[in-house]
Amino acid sequence: MNIEETLADLRRDPPASLKANVDLGTGLADGVSIFESPVGELAVTFNPRGVSSVSLAELDFEEYFAARFGRRLIEARPPTGWERLINQGIEAGNPGQLPLDLRGVTAFRREIMLIATTIPRGEVRPYQWLALQAGHPGAARAVGSAMANNPIPLIVPCHRVVRADGSLGAYSLGGADNKRVLLAREGFISTRG
């Protein structure tokens, strides 16, 4: 073999991790990692913009994620420092410094999510209160759907948003029982449903 052919023979396929890391780095796929929480294992997804979703790991979250966000998932480590922020966010029920990727969430729903993060741990607020804070007093029902569609439950504490009569209402992360567990852990005991 002459030297030109020998050099051409140095062509090799890269490790599979190259393409996966390009997909993650461009945001064409999100990374997913499992985290512990008071309501069981959570699948937390993220991309360079921030954390994009939280769901129960026992459910078929990959299918859910693809249907809702239209992106693939790759098992991955979060960017440096985010693991600690995610654990803190789950513990505190607040995103703190953790960046969130809320692409695809409407401006109104973002606003409601932001207002929900202002509810202190161990306290609850009715849907109407959030509607009022957002400057749309009649929009309690829309607040309800914003919370039901919150892509980042627990870290964005929609579990602290309840019905006007004090009953807990629905919860997207595994149902009302989980809402009760989370609130009880924060020291809030509901006396109504």
Site stretch for another protein (CB under 8 A), options 76-84, 106-114, 130-138, 169-177:
76-84
**In the set 3, 67, 107, 189, which binds another protein (CB under 8 A)?**
3
Using the minimum distance from each CB to another protein, give the nearer residue, 28 or 170.
28
Q: Applying CB under 8 A, does 28 fall inside the site for another protein?
A: yes
Q: Applying CB under 8 A, does 34 fall inside the site for another protein?
A: no
Q: Which helix (H) or strand (E) holds 126?
A: strand 125-126
# of chain residues touching another protein (CB under 8 A): 35
Based on the residue annotation, tell me whether 158 is a catalytic residue of this protein: yes
Q: Which helix (H) or strand (E) holds 112?
A: helix 107-116
User: What tokens does 80 get?
Assistant: 């440096």
Q: Applying CB under 8 A, does 20 fall inside the site for another protein?
A: yes
- In the block, residue with structure tokens 């959030």: 130
Catalytic residue (choose from 112, 158, 161, 168)? 158
CA distance 170 to 162: 8
* CA 87 centroid distance within chain: 12
129, 152 contact by CB (below 8 A): no
Residue 76 beta carbon to another protein: minimum distance, rounded to whole angstroms? 5
User: What tokens does 40 get?
Assistant: 């069981």
**In the set 34, 40, 41, 48, which binds another protein (CB under 8 A)?**
48
State the catalytic residues: 158
The residues that touch another protein, with contacts defined as CB under 8 A, are 3-4, 6-8, 10-26, 28, 30-31, 46-48, 74-80
